[in-house]
Structure 1
Amino acid sequence: MPIKRDIEKGANKSPKDLEKPFIDDSSRNVDENDSIKMALISTGVAICGSYEFGNCVGFTAPAQSAIYDDLNLSVAQFSLFGSIITVGAMIGAVTSGRIADAIGRKGSMALGAVICIAGWLAIFYAMGSLLLDTGRFFTGYGIGIFTYVVPIYIAEIAPKELRGGLTTLNQFMIVTGSSFSFLLGTVVSWRTLALTGLAPCILLITGLTFIPESPRWLAKIGQQEEFENSLRRLRGAKANISYEANEIQETIRTLQSLPQARLRDLLDSKYIKPVIISVGLMVCQQSGGINGIGFYLSETFQTAGLKSGHTGTVAYALIQVPVTMVGVVLMDKAGRRVLLLISSCGTCFGCFLTGTGFFFKSQAVFPELVPFFAVSGVLVFIASFSVGMGAIPWLIMSEIFPLQIKGAAGSLACIVNWLGAWVVSYSFNFLVNWSPSGTFWLFAGFGVLNIIFVAKLVPETKGKSLEEIQASLNS
């Protein structure tokens, strides 16, 4: 095989000699555009699943009143419809790692798309709450799979110098899908809006036929020829892939000598550090209050003194999408850890400002400053979250776990994230009824803890291969 010949030629050379072909090989520069092109195409297909995620999450807000009227639902029935997506997503998260290990990254994405299609069709044809809830649950299960497999696939196929930015496109497309779903829902019926959810799934299934499977997964299951073909498609036909292939295979051989990891094995000393980092970042992401603040954004702005809740929603969309794009651009330049620290500081400050605004309102002082403090704080929070804390926890999750435990550990991280999302979104109204200012100050307090966690425990992974990252964590 070509890779084996490359490795055999270098078997008797010193480490410095082995570096030279990979540094000086002029053909590598020629093929750089091919490598970037295939990585971009593959990422573009995968993030159709991310867009579907956002589309599902953004469906209920514009459809709420129309579904109430058409199906005569009670408040309790609609609340169940809105929240059952989280239940489906948690179950999807539990099984996503095992599914991705069993049928591959492409197979998992295809399965998630098929399940989402079934869910959207059930919602479209629903004449009562049973079929409506069933469809919503299915879409939740599908996006639960996407939550894990999309960033994992991108991280495993991208060149290390592009991995951060490409993986962050996952969060960008979630934001875009959510915003577009809300805006489209203001001009079309809720049944038509449900049908639009089919489009990204169909694009994903179609695109999967043209892109390579993850070479790391192929190496793991022993498909040597497919592994080489996949890596060559991703790096260019003339690129010297022997070093990267050898590195991946050495890692796979080491991991396969170990027993298959289970959830209880994640407490092992050699795995505990990446588990703490990944799970801790998921807690940080949700404890800042994003799901409560985002879901009840219009009500928050109206309470602060704005006349129209739509103003807040438009501001949310206009800020979140471009700032998320800024995060994508900076990911492989500024680094993950720096952006996480900036993001955590910004979300903490934003919640403090909003809480202060509501405190002024409760004390009937500086009434003219209440809207300014509350609205500015929320917008600072959203912008700060979008630039780092929204995407980076998923990116780091995809980077720091070795293949041996990636399935079990990834599922655990996703479960924690979805459970946190449910806790925050469910409790937010109760907290606000207790004290609006206290609620936002509570989130600001969690923001301080998030800053400490990132500063003390989260490593910088920018510019490192997945194997280098895992080696540094075990050192």
Structure 2
Amino acid sequence: MGCVDKIGASSASVIRDSSVSVVLCTLIVALGPIQFGFTGGFSSPTQDSIIHDLNLSLSESLMIAAIPNIIGWLAISFANDSSFLYMGRLLEGFGVGVISYTVPVYIAEIAPQNMRGGLGSVNQLSVTIGIMLAYIFGMFLPWRMLSIAGTLPCIILIPGLFFIPESPRWLAKMGMMEDFEASLQVLRGFDTDITVEVNEIKRSVQSGTRRTTIRFTDLKQRRYSVPLMIGIGLLVLQQLSGINGILFYANNMFKAAGVTNSQAATCGLGAIQVIATGVTTWLLDRAGRRLLLIISSAGMTISLLIVAVAFYLKDAVSHDSKFNFILSVLSLVGLVAYVISFSLGIGAIPWIIMSEILPVNIKSLAGSVATLANWLTSWVITMTANLLLSWSSGGTFTIYTVVSAFTLVFVIFWVPETKGRTLEEIQWSFR
């Protein structure tokens, strides 16, 4: 970690070496989101088998799939009834809740400003890889074996954490100044002058810790209220667009659309999501966060509208098999376009922006609140997705369309561009 050739290193090689150090740290912590994504994707290929083998009702299956997860795979694997599944999902949910917040914050705090967007999106890229792996393995492995496979990312992650440095900004906030500078030097390269960055971080930490206790009345100040509103708003709207309902129940949705091999289609959807998120990783530090969010939410609105119209028409002309086939293809294209659009912005960027805009003295509390809001919304969407689809497929996608349209308006009027600015500059701008 941070192995830099000190003798005769050119400035270019220093940049490369420091970049490698940050990238390695990012890749290690990214094992957590892979576990996160595998957990999310686990429901789609396994729900029919689980319901059949354990004689579960629809409501029991919904509850199990709704609770996010990370460390209860063995409890799930050895389940004899629904109580083991509840326990496993609850344990996993605690771990995923921690990972979903700490990983993007850690990456944002260690990354240089010119790499922060791309590295930050590795978090969501890892989630999509985890989902895709769950889909693919779900085609070949029984659900008990699949849950054992879900333990692998964490088994690799735990020893990897011993080889990465602590976040410099966290160390500075804790008053551990020697460790703070040492950690930053490792991340930037031993021959890099970190004086300017050290002074910026110290100034930001000193400003943020003059008052050690934040009262609720303080949150009304613009420096706190605006980033809180933006961070929580984006994370809630991300889930209200229906993404987890669609991904968790992708198999059922493809069946409803008339696709014969729904599991293969679901795997293809997972692969498309990985590719689209990879493109976002490349674009983030070039195009900027705000532009990608606008393109993403606009694309989601249009594609969800196409799916809604296709399902409405399919219900209206159920007697015409040829026309139904065309509508099935149209709804499938709309779903794929929706996942691509989501992956281009709304999937990754809200977590990045949240980790960038929250002031250091409220980051833990505010970040926890934002993450809780995200997961509660995810729980609601996952709980209601199948029930809404049973009520009306067209109506379900109409609701998601309206939310995506509102997301577009929210981004245009409220979300600032954070590309190319240090965390300290971003947080000072809200003052």
> Do Structure 1 and Structure 2 share a fold, with TM-score over 0.5?
yes
Write out per-residue CA displacement over residues 206-229 of structure 1, whole angstroms, 9 at most, x where no aligned residue: 111111000000011111111111
Cα 1:391–1:71 shift into 2, 3 Å: same
- The answer to whether the 8 Å contact 2:21/2:187 transfers is yes
Give the 3-state SS of the residue equivalent to 2:113 in structure 1: coil
Structure 1 residues 36-435: aligned runs within 5 Å: 36-68=19-51, 70-83=53-66, 85-86=67-68, 116-117=70-71, 119-261=72-214, 265-364=218-317, 366-435=323-392
> Are 1:438 and 2:401 counterparts?
no
Q: Which amino acid aligns with 1:169?
A: V
Partners of 2:76 and 2:335 in 1: CA distance: 33
Which shows bigger deviation, 258-267 or 307-316? 258-267
- The answer to whether the 8 Å contact 1:266/1:405 transfers is no
Cα 1:264–1:290 shift into 2, 3 Å: farther
Q: State the match for 1:32 in structure 2.
A: 15
Cα 1:422–1:262 shift into 2, 3 Å: farther
- The answer to whether the 8 Å contact 2:227/2:357 transfers is yes
Partners of 2:313 and 2:54 in 1: CA distance: 42
Structural RMSD (CA): 2.0
- The answer to whether the 8 Å contact 1:124/1:195 transfers is yes
TM-score by length of 1: 0.84
Partners of 1:56 and 1:243 in 2: CA distance: 42
Q: Which amino acid aligns with 2:99?
A: F
Query: Identity of paired residues, percent?
Result: 42
- The answer to whether the 8 Å contact 2:74/2:88 transfers is yes
- The answer to whether the 8 Å contact 1:263/1:408 transfers is no
Q: Which amino acid aligns with 2:38?
A: N
Q: Which amino acid aligns with 1:126?
A: A
Partners of 1:262 and 1:137 in 2: CA distance: 31
- The answer to whether the 8 Å contact 1:164/1:332 transfers is yes
TM-score by length of 2: 0.92
Give the 3-state SS of the residue equivalent to 2:239 in structure 1: helix
Q: State the match for 2:6 in structure 1.
A: none
Give the 3-state SS of the residue equivalent to 1:209 in structure 2: helix
Q: State the match for 2:407 in structure 1.
A: 450
Give the 3-state SS of the residue equivalent to 2:286 in structure 1: coil
Structure with greater proportional helix content: 1
Give the 3-state SS of the residue equivalent to 1:463 in structure 2: coil
Write out per-residue CA displacement over residues 284-309 of structure 1, whole angstroms, 9 at most, x where no aligned residue: 21222212222232322322232232
Partners of 2:416 and 2:243 in 1: CA distance: 24
Partners of 2:87 and 2:218 in 1: CA distance: 34
Task: Give the gaps of 5 or more residues in structure 2.
Answer: 1-8
Cα 1:140–1:442 shift into 2, 3 Å: same
Cα 1:255–1:171 shift into 2, 3 Å: same
Partners of 2:424 and 2:325 in 1: CA distance: 55
Give the 3-state SS of the residue equivalent to 1:58 in structure 2: helix
Which shows bigger deviation, 463-472 or 72-81? 72-81
- The answer to whether the 8 Å contact 1:52/1:174 transfers is yes
